[in-house]
């Protein structure tokens, strides 16, 4: 047999036995949390037309997409992100609906990352989208859902870094940066290279007050007083002021929801997804080198599909969450209640009838015809590997 047939391509992996069971259990548990907030399940295709994720929408670079063609020659891509697909659905089926729409979903995404990045190219995401509501209340509801999900997953220590796209964008517009310069600044901030930002600004002839304002982007703000001081520095810049006012209102709502201890305001939060237009956030915890949660407001995205309405959402990257739980040695509680029934030919009918009755009652039963060359110890070891709670023999000994 050719050796490569036994291996997966780079960037993807098999998930099996206990790990797979834990992942499915966790997804089901978190999905139920989303539904308690009134979000309705939705499924979208794993591949879409190329334009759904094109440059205009600002999702993933073309070179990072898995592209292929259908019989008619249309360019298709495996989805790198589920949010644009949800936006397409909302515009297509809910064009005239004036009321907010709530969707929740889970599915796999595919990004052809570079080999040296060490990231998975296929990830499972679980998320929610609130379409048609542009209030701070909607932002707070999304943050509350995220906190509830992470607590129910078992995490005790995590933080959501919350910012607003309008703050950095307002600064760059005030500085007169062109698109290329804006991309440089965003890349430096995404890599937490704030010294690089300072050097970049020093080479430009900017107003000293504006330079001081750029210094707020690397700081965390956890109290109202700190936030007001940062806002005072932005008095001359209406766009930045409006963004900070929105975050101030959001801060008061996090107190109402009782989630304020999990929130820190970081005014320089940025994303590689350019469709974000307002509040934006990332979630971090120990044991994962990547954010376990990403989300934000994308009020202009649906306009690309013909429906001009605000929206906000988030995704939990399930694989990163699993890695974090493992790194923190937090066990996902699984109840092993199944049975293994080992029978001989003389008791085949008894075994099948018994299994059918047990399955009808909702119990898990695995049947095995007893082999002459296997001992009781072999079956006990097998049940242990399979994490089966009960072993029952149906043979002449009736053990």
Rounded Cα distance, 172 and 382, in Å: 63
Contacts for 283 with CB less than 8 Å, ≥ 6 apart: 146, 150, 158, 159, 160, 161, 291, 292, 293, 294, 316
Extract the annotated binding site for L-histidine.
Answer: 81-83, 125, 129, 275-276
Q: Which residue, chain included where needed, has tokens 């796999």? A: 108
Q: CB–CB of 153/253 below 8 Å? A: no
In degrees to the nearest 10, what's the CA dihedral of 53, 58, 62, 64? -90
In the sheet with 47-49, reading across from the earlier edge strand, the strands are 47-49, 75-78, 67-69
- Taken in order 126, 246, 166, 51, the sign of the CA dihedral is positive
Strand-pairing partners, residue 160, are: 263, 283
Strand-pairing partners, residue 130, are: 102, 312
Strand-pairing partners, residue 317, are: 125
DSSP 121: S
Going by C-alpha positions, the residue among 202, 245, 198 that lies closest to residue 224 is 245
Two tokens, residue 72:
């008619």
Give the count of alpha carbons within 13 A of 35, CB side only.
11
Long-range CB contact pairs, 332-335, < 8 A, 24+: 332/22, 332/25, 332/26, 332/154, 334/18, 334/21, 334/22, 334/25, 334/387
User: Three-state DSSP class for 23?
Assistant: helix
Sort strands 220-221 and 263-266 into parallel, antiparallel or unpaired: antiparallel
Q: How many CB atoms lie within 10 A of CB 108?
A: 15
Rounded Cα distance, 214 and 233, in Å: 10
């Amino acid at each position: 047999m050719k050796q490569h047939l036994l291996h997966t391509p780079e960037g993807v992996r098999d998930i099996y036995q206990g790990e797979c069971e834990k992942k499915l259990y966790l997804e089901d548990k978190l999905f139920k949390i989303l539904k308690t907030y009134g979000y309705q399940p939705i499924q979208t295709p794993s591949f879409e037309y190329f334009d759904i994720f094109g440059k205009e929408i600002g999702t993933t670079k073309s070179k990072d997409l898995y592209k292929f063609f259908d019989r008619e020659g249309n360019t298709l891509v495996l989805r790198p992100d589920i949010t644009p697909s949800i936006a397409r659905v909302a515009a297509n089926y809910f064009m005239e609906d004036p009321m907010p729409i709530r969707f929740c979903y889970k599915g796999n995404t595919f990004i052809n990352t570079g080999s040296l990045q060490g990231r998975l190219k296929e990830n499972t995401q679980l998320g929610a989208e609130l379409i048609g509501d542009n209030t701070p209340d909607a932002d707070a509801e999304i943050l509350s859902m995220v906190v509830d999900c992470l607590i129910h997953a078992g995490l005790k220590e995590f933080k959501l870094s919350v910012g607003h796209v309008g703050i950095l964008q307002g600064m760059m517009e005030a500085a007169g940066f062109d698109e290329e310069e804006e991309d440089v600044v965003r890349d430096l901030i995404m890599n937490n290279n704030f010294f690089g930002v300072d050097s970049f600004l020093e080479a430009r002839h900017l107003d000293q007050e504006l330079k001081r304002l750029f210094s707020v982007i690397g700081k965390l703000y956890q109290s109202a007083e700190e936030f007001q001081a940062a806002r005072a520095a932005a008095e001359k810049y209406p766009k930045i002021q409006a963004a900070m006012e929105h975050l101030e209102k959001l801060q008061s709502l996090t107190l109402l929801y009782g989630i304020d201890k999990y929130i820190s305001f970081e005014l320089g939060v940025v994303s590689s997804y350019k469709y974000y237009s307002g509040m934006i956030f990332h979630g971090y915890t120990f044991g994962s080198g990547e954010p376990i949660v990403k989300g934000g407001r994308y009020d202009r995205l649906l306009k690309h599909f013909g429906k001009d309405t605000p929206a906000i959402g988030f995704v939990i990257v399930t694989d990163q969450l699993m890695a974090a739980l493992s790194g923190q040695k937090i066990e996902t509680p699984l109840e092993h209640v199944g049975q293994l029934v080992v029978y001989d030919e003389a008791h085949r009918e008894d075994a099948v009838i018994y299994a059918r009755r047990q399955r009808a009652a909702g119990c898990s039963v695995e049947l095995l015809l007893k082999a002459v060359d296997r001992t009781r110890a072999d079956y006990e070891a097998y049940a242990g590997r399979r994490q089966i709670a009960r072993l029952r023999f149906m043979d002449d000994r009736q053990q």
